[in-house]
Amino acid sequence: METNTHPYVTLAVQSVRHYLEHGVALPCPKNLTEDLQDSKSVFVTIKNGPRLRGCIGDLTPFHDNLAKEIIHNATSAASRDSRFSPVTLDELPELTFSVDVLTPLEKIEELSQLDCRRYGLAVKAGERLGVLLPDLKGVETVQEQLRICLKKGGIDKDEPYEMYRFEVKRYH
């Protein structure tokens, strides 16, 4: 891990290492900085080179502070992303982590209110939900962003759905 890694990313890596070594979540650190005491939504992404290895997050916070959100979602991205086998301790040094802190969802009515570099997208139809973070390699248009969200949520393009945008602050 690089020495100039952001503290949020360091916490995510420590969380995964602790979980892999002990089988339980990392206890929330004491004496949190003011920013880690905030309640915010977080996605944690794990990659092995350019290849996605896990990504888990929430659109609304479930814990009372950002540190707990990072710990929970880092552990989940490493062990419970159904698209991938769980991360192992042996591969941990090869992995890179990013932590995206989300703004609250903002309902939008049309694609002209999106910019796939600036905004993530959540598409909802009933209980089904498709989410895509902003500024992802290979996603060049808002139409592509919408198509991926609909597919991820199992939502047909012709059925009624709601769209929400959000911004992220991405930490590496």
* pLDDT in the model for residue 102: 98
Rounded to whole angstroms, the Cα distance separating 148 from 40 reads 25
116, part of any domain: yes
- Round to whole Å and give the CA distance between 122 and 131: 4
CA angle, 86 then 167 then 14, to 5°: 35
Confidence at residue 50, expressed as pLDDT on a 0 to 100 scale: 94
List per-residue pLDDT tens for the chain, 172 residues long. 445 799 999 999 999 999 999 999 999 999 999 999 999 999 999 999 999 999 999 999 999 999 999 999 999 999 999 999 999 999 999 999 999 999 999 999 999 999 999 999 999 999 999 999 999 999 999 999 999 999 999 999 999 999 999 999 999 9
Report pTM.
0.94
Query: What torsion, rounded to 10 degrees, do the Cα atoms 5, 85, 68, 18 define?
Result: -70
Work out the angle between the directed axes of helices 7-22 and 66-79 (0-180°, nearest 10).
50
CATH of the domain at 93: 3.30.700.20
Same domain flag for 14 and 40: yes
If asked whether residues 94 and 38 sit together in one domain, one would say yes
Write the DSSP symbol of residue 60.
S
Q: Which of 52, 71, 102 is the last residue of a domain?
A: 102
Report the distance separating Cα 38 and Cα 6, nearest Å: 17
> What does the pLDDT read at residue 128?
98
Q: E strands along 49-125, which residues?
A: 51-57, 95-102, 106-108, 120-125
At residue 4, the pLDDT reads 75
Q: What is the pLDDT of residue 23?
A: 97
Residue with tokens 């880690």: 36
**Residue 150 is part of which domain span?**
106-171
- pLDDT on residue 135: 95
Q: How many domains does the chain have?
A: 2
